[in-house]
Structure 1
Amino acid sequence: MIPARGYEGARVAILGLGRSGLSAARSLEAGGAEPVCWDDNPEARARAEEYGFEIVDLAREGAFHGIACLVVSPGIPHLYPAPNRIVAAAQAAGVPVDNDIGLFFRSFAGAEWQDFDQPPRVIAVTGSNGKSTTSALIHHILTEAGRASQLAGNIGRGVLDIDAPADGGAVVLELSSYQTELARALTPDIAVFTNLSPDHLDRHGGPGGYFAAKRRLFAEGGPDRAIIGVDEPEGRFLAGQLSESAGDDRVIRISVTEKLTGPGWNVFARKGFLSEYRKGRQAGSIDLRPIKGLPGAHNHQNTCAAYAVCRSMGLAPRVIEDAMQTYPGLPHRSQIIAEAGGVTYVNDSKATNVDSALQALQAFDSVRWICGGLEKEGGLAALAPALDRVARAYVIGREAPQFALQLEGCETEICTTMAEAVRRAHADAQPGETVLLAPAAASFDQYDSFERRGEDFAACVARALGSGQ
């Protein structure tokens, strides 16, 4: 655990008692603070009481008298579309509002660091798509190379629940826009921006607010090195803001759409090959095509980011390549769950928006596509460039007919349930094809999470293969 610093003897309020909230309460207590906890859910309050934490209704009049800070869980809005009533009360009372990420960055360094030969380093990864895979891949490469590494944030452990870092150790954090937007301290040693596509726009008041939330990771703390995906205008803008000159190698630009050979430090992937260029000369190359755990251009972008991080930490290209060969992939993210009769079954339930589904489709040549769910803003028109790869779409979800109508030029079948979609796709699939779950939609019309949806897909595939249907 990382004890929270700076609040010794102070009363600190915690709003939201899920994983991050309880972790923050424990951390604050370990640092000598007095946590005061609240959640609108009675079951969550009961869990906190079992830990011995004080429960106080923060919505009551005068609740913030004597409170030094309010720590808010990521899912609770503090500005758009409207502030939570308790957050608004804290702001009206002049009480600072923070989150567990802010507590982590202000508390991470310890007195024991003065005896370390190499201070620990924090690598923070943000962006719309690929954060989890990039973070997990960095952690995997560092671990395979013999470096002490911990994975935390949106993936792995809560940031305050990690162990105190070892001499020369690394902490890899996946950070969402919800987390970067509110944290009062953001000081990573290396920061990664993968890409940007429309998501969570209501929470951030539009695309400008969404980008601004991501940008804070780079603007607030000034990382020693920034790895920036430059395939969108926002990434190019950010890289330009952070660079002092075209040859400034504190910024590493990455791309999967163009060859980057300028005077700076660049990493790009084209036609399945990763290339590293420094000062206009090639410094490394990896053939990504045999790496099963990282299929498609979207994963090649993740690979470029992870490669750039590990190179900036001093790892040799061959060491990175060897580690990538053993990367198993993440559940629900381009996860190969079965191969039978020449057909590959891939679970990409995490493809909850149109951009991530487009990337998933473009990773395969001939697809039996299972899609649908709770549609997000913007419609499905952006999927058009990949629909020629789809042999047939099997549409699930409560609004499957309306979803299917938007897939113009694509043969569709309304299945509604996952079981029926898998049964039909399995029966139709030919050798060389891929049965792909990439919903392009949220799961909440039928499942309580994308993980449950992916698990159901895997179970349905297992039943179909086991029955020989």
Structure 2
Amino acid sequence: MRLGELAEKVSGKLIGDDAEFRGRFTTLGGAREGDVVIRHWIDDKGVKIASEKGVSAIITQYPRGEASELHEVPLILVDRIEVANAFALSWSVKNFAPSSRRVIVTGTNGKSTTTHMITHILRESGRSAYTNTDLRSEFNTLIDPVVSQQISESGSPEFLIIEVSEVQGWLGRVMRDHAYMMASAVEPEMAVITNVAMDHIGLVDSLDDVFREVSGAVRALKEGVAVLNADDPRVREMADINPHARAVFYGSGTEVRYDEGIYCGDELLVSPHELPLRGEHFIQNTLAAVAACRGLRLSLDDIRDGVRTYRPLKRRFSVLMEKPLVIDDFAHNPDGIRSTVRSALKTLKGRLWVVNAIRGSRGEEINLLNAGALAESLKGAGAELIVTASSDLVDRQNTVLENERRAFLGVLEDNGIEYKYIETLRESLKTVLDAASPSDTVLLLGAQGMDPASKVLKEIMGNS
């Protein structure tokens, strides 16, 4: 394919020679001779690095400085970088995994765990599978070419299990129809939908917006199966939006359900004590993975073995300590907070302590909603609440702004929820460990602000 043809396919403008492209789509750091680099922005230093590596071209939305005037490497300028990344994904699938069976997973909560579990079940059954979600990192945005590069290196596996962000944006601009665009690029035989809930405030303003974005994954199916959460009314509505797709449900009252164990029809697949975790969200994600694997025609024995041997992703209702019982969860939006607190109350040992990290640099709206969900969940629970900004450990992009702090704490006060505010995460964790008895339960909640908690706890305990 020539660069001029590539520019047309990504709705871009070619600046430079119309050379032949024979490499891969990749990042600047991973580029080799002949590759095409995709970056949201690039400056003259980036162009020089690309030139030294011998890349064929750079696709970018924002050339900075003298980048567009150097002419050392052909540039393709685009208005929407996501169009380029969607083409790169489609091209990589067709050229490096053309015979693969493809599944996409999306939704507000649980898509990483569901994606990871489906992949684990497939691999445990002896099948080869690639996923863009793993225990170390989650390349799930698809707004850069990491996944395209990984697929080119994957060795043409039997299955591609691709996590798709339900809502995506950059520099405050929503990448409208992101799930539809990326799902269309993958051309899956199956779309798994976990739920529809509020998150990404500023990119979406209502549940109707979230529904539109998430349902794009179902609309993108040319044929095949939509695996839908029967316990989410908005997800149930997706059964009727694509006449080319067959809807299969999981959850209450369906073939794949939880009733003191994971059932498939009349058969008990996995008993409660065999589940790696018993949190509400984890059970929903397990049901989604089981339903998806049944749809892929895996045997019940293969699915059972996969679920039993599964090890969860980090910060998914993870137990960090036993005495006191310290549970860490990436509860970053209202639904996640409610579900995690409910699950903690069900497994409660002794008194409940909650340490919650405010979401930094995400705006007032999401923090108002999160604080409301926390207040609702803790009312009458008799819990001790500590709120932190984690100012000692977060970077600039996750710093809690004063208006965010006021918004979060104001909701707690309006709801009569008593709390202690501690600025730093280290002091917050030290305070709760000093106060909690060995028989108590400590729940750690929050997104990036709580990410370092596991490491900090080890340091505290090592120094005690």
TM-score class normalised by the smaller sequence:
0.7 to 0.9
Superposition pairs of residues 184-199 of structure 1, within 5 angstroms: 185-199=185-199
Which position in structure 2 is the counterpart of 1:304?
Answer: 287
Q: Residue 97 of structure 2 contacts residue 157 of structure 2 at CA under 8 Å; is this kept in 1?
A: no
Q: Which structure 2 residue ranges, 5 or more long, are not aligned?
A: 14-23, 69-73, 141-145, 169-177, 390-399
Secondary structure of 2:408's aligned partner: helix
Superposition pairs of residues 432-443 of structure 1, within 5 angstroms: 432-439=439-446
Residue 353 of structure 2 aligns to which amino acid in structure 1?
R
Residue 406 of structure 1 aligns to which amino acid in structure 2?
V
- Note closer, same or farther for the CA distance 1:227–1:420 as it changes in structure 2 (3 Å cut): same
Secondary structure of 2:197's aligned partner: coil
Which position in structure 1 is the counterpart of 2:239?
Answer: 239
Which position in structure 2 is the counterpart of 1:263?
Answer: none
Alpha-carbon shift at residue 254 of structure 1 (Å) = 2.0
Report the Cα distance in structure 2 between the residues aligned to 1:203 and 1:373, rounded to whole angstroms: 19
Which position in structure 2 is the counterpart of 1:316?
Answer: 299
Report the Cα distance in structure 1 between the residues aligned to 2:48 and 2:111, rounded to whole angstroms: 33
Which residue among 308, 332, 335 is the counterpart of 1:355?
335
Alpha-carbon shift at residue 306 of structure 1 (Å) = 0.7
Which position in structure 1 is the counterpart of 2:264?
Answer: 276
Residue 315 of structure 1 aligns to which amino acid in structure 2?
L
Alignment of 1:175 with 2:164, yes or no, is yes
Secondary structure of 1:346's aligned partner: strand
Which position in structure 1 is the counterpart of 2:20?
Answer: none
- TM-score normalised by the chain length of structure 1: 0.72
Report the Cα distance in structure 2 between the residues aligned to 1:6 and 1:307, rounded to whole angstroms: 44
Report the Cα distance in structure 2 between the residues aligned to 1:320 and 1:297, rounded to whole angstroms: 20
Report the Cα distance in structure 2 between the residues aligned to 1:33 and 1:47, rounded to whole angstroms: 13
Deviations for 1:334-365, whole angstroms, at most 9, x for unmatched residues?
222232x3x222222x3221221221111212
Report the Cα distance in structure 1 between the residues aligned to 2:327 and 2:161, rounded to whole angstroms: 26
Alpha-carbon shift at residue 385 of structure 1 (Å) = 4.6
Alignment of 1:406 with 2:411, yes or no, is yes
Residue 271 of structure 2 aligns to which amino acid in structure 1?
D
Name the count of aligned residue pairs. 397
Q: Residue 26 of structure 2 contacts residue 149 of structure 2 at CA under 8 Å; is this kept in 1?
A: yes
Which position in structure 2 is the counterpart of 1:447?
Answer: none
Which residue among 306, 310, 316 is the counterpart of 1:327?
310
Which position in structure 2 is the counterpart of 1:104?
Answer: 89
Q: Residue 152 of structure 1 contacts residue 174 of structure 1 at CA under 8 Å; is this kept in 2?
A: yes
Alpha-carbon shift at residue 38 of structure 1 (Å) = 6.0
Which residue among 432, 451, 455 is the counterpart of 1:454?
451
Which position in structure 2 is the counterpart of 1:126?
Answer: 106
Which residue among 391, 410, 416 is the counterpart of 2:383?
391
Alpha-carbon shift at residue 390 of structure 1 (Å) = 5.8
- Note closer, same or farther for the CA distance 1:460–1:52 as it changes in structure 2 (3 Å cut): same
Report the Cα distance in structure 1 between the residues aligned to 2:358 and 2:407, rounded to whole angstroms: 11
Q: Residue 243 of structure 1 contacts residue 251 of structure 1 at CA under 8 Å; is this kept in 2?
A: no
Q: Residue 124 of structure 1 contacts residue 192 of structure 1 at CA under 8 Å; is this kept in 2?
A: yes
Report the Cα distance in structure 1 between the residues aligned to 2:84 and 2:120, rounded to whole angstroms: 27
Secondary structure of 1:108's aligned partner: helix
Q: Which structure 1 residue ranges, 5 or more long, are not aligned?
A: 15-20, 72-86, 91-95, 114-118, 261-265, 443-449
Secondary structure of 1:303's aligned partner: helix
Residue 250 of structure 2 aligns to which amino acid in structure 1?
I
Residue 138 of structure 1 aligns to which amino acid in structure 2?
I
Secondary structure of 1:123's aligned partner: strand
Q: Residue 42 of structure 2 contacts residue 64 of structure 2 at CA under 8 Å; is this kept in 1?
A: no
Deviations for 1:242-267, whole angstroms, at most 9, x for unmatched residues?
478xxx9x322122xx333xxxxx32
Q: Residue 353 of structure 1 contacts residue 376 of structure 1 at CA under 8 Å; is this kept in 2?
A: no
Residue 309 of structure 2 aligns to which amino acid in structure 1?
T
Alignment of 1:373 with 2:376, yes or no, is no
Report the Cα distance in structure 1 between the residues aligned to 2:200 and 2:97, rounded to whole angstroms: 40
Alpha-carbon shift at residue 149 of structure 1 (Å) = 1.0
Report the Cα distance in structure 2 between the residues aligned to 1:112 and 1:295, rounded to whole angstroms: 36
Alpha-carbon shift at residue 162 of structure 1 (Å) = 2.5
Q: Residue 261 of structure 2 contacts residue 268 of structure 2 at CA under 8 Å; is this kept in 1?
A: no
- TM-score normalised by the chain length of structure 2: 0.72
Which position in structure 1 is the counterpart of 2:26?
Answer: 23
Alpha-carbon shift at residue 460 of structure 1 (Å) = 2.1
Alpha-carbon shift at residue 315 of structure 1 (Å) = 2.1
Deviations for 1:295-317, whole angstroms, at most 9, x for unmatched residues?
31111010001111111222222
Q: Residue 130 of structure 2 contacts residue 157 of structure 2 at CA under 8 Å; is this kept in 1?
A: no
Residue 237 of structure 1 aligns to which amino acid in structure 2?
E
- Note closer, same or farther for the CA distance 1:324–1:412 as it changes in structure 2 (3 Å cut): same
Which position in structure 2 is the counterpart of 1:224?
Answer: 224
Which position in structure 2 is the counterpart of 1:39?
Answer: 41
Which residue among 114, 125, 138 is the counterpart of 1:155?
138
Report the Cα distance in structure 1 between the residues aligned to 2:151 and 2:197, rounded to whole angstroms: 34
- Note closer, same or farther for the CA distance 1:38–1:297 as it changes in structure 2 (3 Å cut): closer
Secondary structure of 1:150's aligned partner: strand
Which position in structure 1 is the counterpart of 2:326?
Answer: 345
Identity %: 23
Secondary structure of 1:252's aligned partner: strand
Alignment of 1:285 with 2:303, yes or no, is no
Which position in structure 1 is the counterpart of 2:143?
Answer: none
Q: Residue 355 of structure 2 contacts residue 444 of structure 2 at CA under 8 Å; is this kept in 1?
A: yes
Q: Residue 92 of structure 2 contacts residue 148 of structure 2 at CA under 8 Å; is this kept in 1?
A: no
Secondary structure of 1:146's aligned partner: coil
Report the Cα distance in structure 2 between the residues aligned to 1:371 and 1:38, rounded to whole angstroms: 33
Report the Cα distance in structure 2 between the residues aligned to 1:382 and 1:168, rounded to whole angstroms: 42
* Alignment RMSD (CA, Å): 3.9
Which residue among 417, 421, 434 is the counterpart of 2:428?
421
- Note closer, same or farther for the CA distance 1:430–1:26 as it changes in structure 2 (3 Å cut): closer
- Note closer, same or farther for the CA distance 1:141–1:453 as it changes in structure 2 (3 Å cut): same
Superposition pairs of residues 249-260 of structure 1, within 5 angstroms: 250-255=246-251, 258-260=252-254
